[in-house]
Structures are given as C-alpha cells and as structure tokens.
Amino acid sequence: MNPPASLFVVPSILQNKYIELMTSRIALIDDDRNILISVSMALESEGFAVTTYNDGEAGLAGLFADMPDLAVLDIKMPRMDGLEVLSKLREKSKIPVIFLTSKDDEIDEVIGLRMGADDYITKPFSQRLLIERIKTLLRRQSLDGHTASPTISAAGEKIVRGSLVLDDSRHLCAWKGQPLSLTVTEYLLIKALAMHPGYVRNRDQLIDTAYGENIHVDDRTIDSHIKRVRKKFKAIDSDFDQIETLYGVGYRYKEE
C-alpha cells in the first residue's frame, strides 16, 4: 500500500550502518523539503530513527499511530499549524517537543511554551544545536521516568540559592516554591549564573554554556534569553532582581 500523498518519508542512506544505534525515535514535521532531508540525515548519522511528515495534519496522524520519543515541528505549516498539532498532542502525550520558528514568531514561541513545548530553535538554525537540544531533552525525559537514588540525590544535582531551587534530575526550576516553565536553554543559563553567585559571566561564556563551544550565535541571542527568563521570574515575583546586567561585560546572579 502506498503511503498517503501528504506523508514524505526520507530514505535512510545510513540505515544499515547505524541500525544497532537507533534507540530513540524522532518525528520531524515541516513543510520545507530541504529541512526534512538535511535534518533527518543529520539525526540518522547520530543514531536516531527518523520519520518525517510534510504537513501538520499528516504529522499528527503519524504521531498518534506510532508515538515517537520526541517530536520536532515547525510552527507555520499548511493544513494544520504547529500550535494546533501541539495542542492535540498534549491531550494524549507528554513526549518532548521542540518548535522550529521564524525570527518574527516571538508571540507564537511564547504561546507554544505555555501550551507545553519544551524548547524552540529559530530558523535558520545549526543542525548541531538541534541535535544537542534533542539529546538534552531525551536525557531529561529518561531521568523523569526514573526515581533518583539517594546516592544521586546526594551528589549535588540540586542547587539552592536562597529562594531559587534548581533540580537537574527533574529539570525543575522553582522560585519561592513556585515552579517555572523554562526551556532547556533558559534552564542552562540560569544554572550557569546561579552556580557562582556574584561572579560575572560574559556573553561568550554563556553562549558556550547554552549552545556549546562550537556553535556560533549572536550576542543578542543571549540578551533575548535573559530577558525572557527575567519575565518568567517577574510573573511570579514582581520584585525579582537577582539577575544583574553589567553593561559591556555580561551578567551575574546576585549574592544573598
């Protein structure tokens, strides 16, 4: 039986070589054929099994028919956009979801995160960055599915800085007892600052922390993330001022 016309499955040129490594299944949903081909090949080269769909309606049907370990989906798609796909997906599943967005999609990014997306990446994007984000979310998902042993809990994975609590084992950030919904990038940034209160981290250091040493992004990207993090804390506590800006230098977390 031929697959539906709206379903586009990229042939795996690396299938035989990496079949034994394919332990995690990724669904990639985007109406851009070039992204489907290039990203799926990059993911397969890392050992992932990838299924691709070229519109939201076909993607949602595919997700429900064979739920993957993680989904990557574009926001702007024909027949059904990424926000609607996410909304319907969250009725049945909590699998990690990464949004692919355009530079002018900030409002959609915020809505998507509130609806339950785990992270987003702005186009054009580095495939290496996407792969690292996927690996991070899958590790988090794996940890969420297992209760940490006393040995792990005692190993310093929980950071407490006054009213701030960061728990790596659950990817949990809380302020004054109230949890915050942070993306992977936002969590890594607040952790990098809170690990060493009082010490200044420049933008290059924060870029390395959030994206890796071999990923090059604009300094303004870090500024945008910090701005969003502050907004999320202020939504809980209007007096939040722990993240200080040192103009021309970088950022630091206040000592208490």
Average pLDDT over residues 25-40: 93
pLDDT score of 94 more than 80:
yes
The sign one gets for the Cα dihedral 112, 129, 180, 238 is negative
pLDDT band at 15 (very low <50, low <70, confident <90, very high): very low
Whether residue 6 lies inside any domain: the answer is no
Residues 136 and 247 in one domain: no
Residues 114 and 28 in one domain: yes
Residue matched to tokens 């909304």: 87
DSSP sequence for the chain? -PPPTT--PPP-TTHHHHGGG--SEEEEE-S-HHHHHHHHHHHHHTT-EEEEESSHHHHHHHHHHS--SEEEEESS-SSS-HHHHHHHHTTT----EEEEE-TT-HHHHHHHHHHT--EEEESS--HHHHHHHHHHHHHHHHHHTSPPPHHHHTTT-EEEETTEEEEGGGTEEEETTEEE---HHHHHHHHHHHTSTT--EEHHHHHHHHH-TT----HHHHHHHHHHHHHHHHHH-TT---EEEETTTEEEEPP-
Quote the pLDDT of residue 147: 33
pLDDT tens by residue, 66-85: 999 999 999 888 889 888 99
Residues 122 and 138 in one domain: yes
pLDDT tens by residue, 50-69: 999 999 999 999 999 999 99
pLDDT score of 12 more than 90:
no
Residue matched to tokens 């926001």: 75
Whether residue 28 lies inside any domain: the answer is yes
> Looking at per-residue confidence, does 17 or 123 come out higher?
123
- Bond preceding residue 124 cis, omega within 30 of 0: yes
Residues 19 and 140 in one domain: yes
Bridge partners of 159? 166
Residues 42 and 133 in one domain: yes
Record the pTM: 0.60
Residues 44 and 128 in one domain: yes
Whether residue 61 lies inside any domain: the answer is yes
Mean pLDDT across the chain, nearest whole number? 79
Domain boundary, last residue among 93, 125, 144 = 144
Whether residue 9 lies inside any domain: the answer is no
pLDDT score of 31 more than 50:
yes
pLDDT score of 223 more than 50:
yes
Quote the pLDDT of residue 170: 73
Quote the pLDDT of residue 206: 85
Quote the pLDDT of residue 62: 94
Quote the pLDDT of residue 168: 80
Point out the least confidently predicted range of 99-103, 152-156, 216-220, 228-232.
Answer: 152-156
Whether residue 10 lies inside any domain: the answer is no
Residue 173 host element (H or E): strand 172-175
Residues 128 and 90 in one domain: yes
Residues 21 and 139 in one domain: yes
Residues 78 and 56 in one domain: yes
Quote the pLDDT of residue 52: 95
Read off the CATH number of the domain in which 204 is found: 1.10.10.10
Domain boundary, last residue among 111, 144, 177 = 144
pLDDT band at 234 (very low <50, low <70, confident <90, very high): very high
Average pLDDT over residues 143-151: 39
Q: Which domain holds residue 45?
A: 15-144
Residues 56 and 133 in one domain: yes
SS3 252: strand
Q: For residue 38, report the phi and psi dihedrals to the nearest 5 degrees.
A: -70, -40
pLDDT tens by residue, 42-51: 999 999 999 9
Residues 58 and 79 in one domain: yes
Q: What is the rounded CA–CA span in Å between residue 186 and residue 193? A: 11
Domain boundary, last residue among 123, 144, 165 = 144
Using CA atoms of 139, 140, 142, 144 in order, give the dihedral in degrees to the nearest 10: 170
Residues 105 and 211 in one domain: no
- Say how many domains are in the chain: 2
Quote the pLDDT of residue 21: 39
By residue count, the chain amounts to 256
